[in-house]
Amino acid sequence: PSRLTTPASCGLRLRKSNPLAAEGSSLGLTAPRATCARTAWTRQEGQRRPQLAHTRGSPLHIRCLAGVVATGARGHRRARPPPRDLAPVLFRASVPGPQSPAPTLLAIIRKALSEEKRVSTKTSAADLVTETDHLVEGLIISELQERFPSHRFIAEESAAAGAKCVLTPSPTWIVDPIDGTCNFVHRFPTVAVSIGFAVDQELEFGVIYHCTEERLYTGRRGRGAFCNGQRLQVSGETDISKALVLTEIGPRRDPATLKLFLSNMERLLHAKAHGVRVIGSSTLALCHLASGAADAYYQFGLHCWDLAAATVIIREAGGIVMDTSGGPLDLMSCRVVAAGTREMAMLIAQALQTINYGRDDEK
Ligand SMILES: O=P(O)(O)OC[C@@]1(O)O[C@H](CO)[C@@H](O)[C@@H]1O
Ligand SMILES: [Mg+2]
């Protein structure tokens, strides 16, 4: 029995030759296909979450996706994140196989990406949501909830519907079902799913999947960060005048907020940063930082579901994630500075003017 064994209800079986079964194997670029119980989903009128039914024999599905990421995360204090080797199985497996009759998480996102969407707005005209955001969040939560009834959830669309975002010591899943919804609506192919996990208010692991480029980023506290099996390492840059900096605009577009946003960007450009980029997904921007493709990230107006998974990945890649004041990160504070080095993070923090977005746990 290896750590790859998932609970019987999932029905996941991996072939004996599975290289991921070996302790310390890579993140599974060569992961074999796995089979598990088939999960069919339906969504009836007025029903917020999909209903799940099981049949044996189909390619791995969201049930396994949630089940595998959750393996070992049972129980307060003793909660243990999954072996890092399992994470790729999780997302890889949710891509439908040739004979798959059931849509899977990534299949749902990819299909919807190319279709017309029903788009609604949330806190502002630039803060978008689609039915796919709701559907994906519902799938992830119902699977995890069924397996871990005592665990708590903080998730973007549930929060938008009024659920409180309070991080307690209980094991808590922090979910952004689609990060980059505006990109998703425009078919701009920079869209991710982000799932973080915290116990005792400490982030334990994070998984971010770049849905169109099939890049799986994972980080587990004390065990490193990886992208498709390659270890991630931040850049060692300490000089702003040699830095590529990433940010996101934030949802507000009122003149005062925009003025501060543009002035912060201007300050970094005056400091001769090579560039300041906005790609439309804070989780993927933070993954670029973790991989050394950028040197710093800052933002006002992001949320705990943008930060949870990415924070573990950046820290495990050797980077710094801190508050814009230069103090420790506060996951609920709606602001962040991250960089490959503490020197760079401090320089960025010192250059910024604060934009007050309030706190996630006070909304
Ligand atoms: O709504 P979504 O797609 O999950 O978030 C999109 C996004 O650009 O908006 C947030 C706030 O500006 C960013 O941090 C985040 O990446
Ligand atoms: Mg989202």
CATH of the domain at 295: 3.40.190.80
Owning domain of residue 245: 240-362
In a domain, 358, yes or no: yes
Distances 214 to 93, 159, 190, 205 between C-alpha atoms, Å: 12, 27, 11, 19
Q: Is residue 174 a part of any domain in this protein?
A: no
Give a yes or no: residue 356 inside a domain: yes
Give a yes or no: residue 216 inside a domain: no
Whether 264 maps to a domain, the answer reads: yes
Which pLDDT score, from 0 to 100, does residue 338 have?
98
Q: Cα separations (Å) of 79 from 169, 197, 254, 357? A: 11, 10, 43, 32
| 74 within some domain | no
Span from the CA of 276 to the centroid of ligand 1 (angstroms): 17
The atom number, within ligand 1, closest to the CA of 299 reads: 14
What's the total number of domains in the chain? 1
For residues 338 and 336, what is the distance between their CA atoms, to the nearest angstrom?
6
Q: Which pTM value belongs to this model?
A: 0.78
Decide if 179 is catalytic. Answer: yes
Question: Is 55 noted as a catalytic residue in this protein?
Answer: no
**Is 344 within the bounds of a domain?**
yes
Ligand nearest to the CA of 282: 1
Query: How remote is the C-alpha of 315 from its chain's centroid?
Result: 15
For the ranges 76-80, 155-159, 167-171, 314-318, which has the lowest average pLDDT?
76-80
User: What whole-number distance in Å separates Cα of residue 206 and Cα of residue 293?
Assistant: 19
Note the pLDDT of residue 103.
Answer: 61
Report yes or no on 287 lying in a domain: yes
ipTM of the complex: 0.94
CA of residue 294 relative to chain centroid, distance: 18
Q: What is the pLDDT of residues 6-28, one digit of tens each?
A: 222 222 222 222 222 222 222 22
Predicted pLDDT of residue 352? 98
Please tell me the distance from the alpha carbon of residue 337 to that of residue 322, in angstroms, as a whole number.
5
Mean pLDDT of 173-182: 96
Longest CA pairwise span in the chain (Å): 60
Question: Tokens representing 293?
Answer: 């493709």
Other Cβ atoms less than 10 A from the Cβ of 138: the count is: 20
